[in-house]
Amino acid sequence: MQLSVDPDRLLPSDPAQRAVARELYTAVADLPIISPHGHVPAQWFAENARFPDPTALLLTPDHYINRVLHSHGVPLERLGVGQSDFSEADARAAFATFCRHWKEFRGTPMKYWFEDQLAGVFGIDLVPSAETADELYDRIDALLATEEFRARALHDRFGIEFIATTDDPCDDLRYHRQIAEESWDATVVPTFRPDKYLEVARPEWVADVDRLAEVSGVDTGDYAGWVGAMEARRSYFTEHGAVSADHAHLDIGMLALDPAESEQLYAQARAGSISAADAVRLRRGMLFEQARMAAEDGLVMTLHPGGLRNHHTATFERFGPDVGADFPVRTEFVQPLQPGLDAFGTNPNFQLVLFTMDETTFSREIGPLASFYPSVFAGAPWWFLDTPDGVTRYREAVTESCGFGKTSGMIDDTRALLSIPARHDMARRLDSGYLARLVTEHRLTMDEALETAHDLVVRQPRRTFKLNGKDDQ
């Protein structure tokens, strides 16, 4: 079977809307990619990585693909997950397994992204199958051996204007520094991700905050020291180009704790005697402190709540985190965020981007919050929702509350480098379709729709993440 990628894919089926959507999409298709939140390692760009084989690049690190295959009985180790001695023969066998299961991806965004990569990045028109697996592997493998498929060449080819990684507060950021000191014309910045230093019930927490003290030069023996160490590391990240701090806890509750209570709970946490309820209370106090810091140092605060991590114990113990065993749970925003927004929601230096895997909150909570607070932006659909239908439901749910100007623009949130252009192109097509409907219903003029399409690709991510030191008004 020959792979066919239709030029009008994802555009509306109604002929009148499709014609308008095609014009809108054409106007934004070649605009640069702005990727202010993602997980591509900075090391790939610093070392201009040559990717070893198709499996290592396209399958092993992609938990979207791995979880689907695992659900159909494919062991994760056969896909290279957690394997340090995965041979070329193993990699080829893993790719063949993926191709044999290709039909299991029908109807999923993974099929859309992978086809887009095959056709758009590799120029290959073969449909994955048991019969084509070896040829696909060999053709991709041959391309990966060329200079055109090294990390920096792909970055430039994709038209990436700005890309942020996700980094531990104790990271020395040497790869970001290396990139910044070279003549390569690229902007690769870190993102401050302090989650594990707020989860005080974790067995490793004391060792982690001791390491934080070592790196920051601030004693974390008490709560005031923890705050000082966090402030020091946030400053270090800012000096290395960071524009945001990301937080991904089960809930996003914030509490303005009394200093004495914070010190008491912190001491209990260090002694290993804190209760489960108090551990949550302290974490919510710590998250309030992160919001306070954001209002002072200007790092954009992004919240990614509602992911119940490492749901399957045996998988976590064998393979570690981020291999696909994470699931959405019901999430609330309005009441849990009230203490933080009451304190900082109208501070002109504070910006907060809200993401969710619970799409019932788009119209009930996130859109309305963004429609009142100058600081709040509705983050793009994330994880299980960054799908063709999920993106459309998001746009319909939040626009009537907060308009287009309080949404974040596309956030790819991926560690799969080759899928970045596919994900951004998908969003541009879907937004063009949504705007086309408003035009054909005479709710927007064509000029307004063209300006809005451009804003969603360029202005909104720049404004939301304070890029170029301006709102891009």
Residue 141, Cα to own-chain centre: how many angstroms? 27
**What is the CB-side half-sphere exposure of residue 225 using CA atoms within 13 A?**
17
Domain 159-469 has CATH 3.30.2030.30: no
Question: How is residue 461 annotated by DSSP?
Answer: H
Longest dimension (CA), the chain: 69
Choose the weakest-confidence range: 105-119, 193-207, 456-470.
456-470
> What is the average pLDDT across 113-126?
96
Q: What is the pLDDT of residue 415?
A: 87
Mean pLDDT of all residues belonging to the chain: 96
Q: Say which amino acid occupies 2.
A: Q
Task: Enumerate the domain spans of the chain.
Answer: 50-149, 159-469
Task: Kindly state the average pLDDT of the residues 45-70.
Answer: 94
For the record, the structure tokens of 87 come out as: 């041979």
Cβ neighbours for 289, distance < 8 A, ≥ 6 positions apart: 227, 230
Q: What is the pLDDT of residue 468?
A: 77
pLDDT reading at 312 higher than 70: yes
Give the contacts of 40 (CB within 8 A, at least 6 positions apart).
163, 165, 414, 415, 417, 420
With a cut of 90, say whether residue 141 has pLDDT above it: yes
Concatenate the DSSP letters of all residues of 11-39 into one string. S-SSHHHHHHHHHHHHHHTTSPEEE-S--
Question: 117: exposed, middle or buried (C-beta count within 10 Å: 0-12, 13-18, 19+)?
Answer: buried
Q: Which residues contact 51 (CB under 8 A, 6 or more apart)?
A: 57, 144, 149, 150, 151
pLDDT tens digits along 415-466: 889 999 999 999 999 999 999 999 999 999 999 999 999 999 999 999 999 9
327-328 and 352-354 as β-strands: parallel, antiparallel, unpaired? unpaired
Q: Work out the pLDDT band at 473, boundaries 50, 70, 90.
A: very low
Band of residue 471 on the pLDDT scale cut at 50, 70, 90 = very low
CATH number, span 50-149: 1.10.2020.10
Q: 201 pLDDT exceeds 50?
A: yes
Domain 50-149 and domain 159-469 have a common topology? no
Q: What is the pLDDT of residues 58-112, one digit of tens each?
A: 999 898 999 999 999 999 999 999 998 999 999 999 999 999 999 999 999 999 9
Identify whether the C-beta of residue 386 lies closer than 8 Å to the C-beta of residue 109: yes
Whether 400 has a pLDDT exceeding 50, the answer reads: yes
pTM, to two decimals:
0.95
Collapsing DSSP to helix, strand or coil, 82 comes out as coil
Q: How large is the angle between the packed helices 205-216 and 259-271, nearest 10 degrees?
A: 110
Residues 220/229, Cβ–Cβ less than 8 Å: yes
Region 150-154 average pLDDT: 97
Whose tokens are 């509306």? That residue is 12
DSSP 274-319: --HHHHHHHHHHHHHHHHHHHHHH-PEEEE---EE---SHHHHHHH
Share of the chain above pLDDT 70, in %: 99
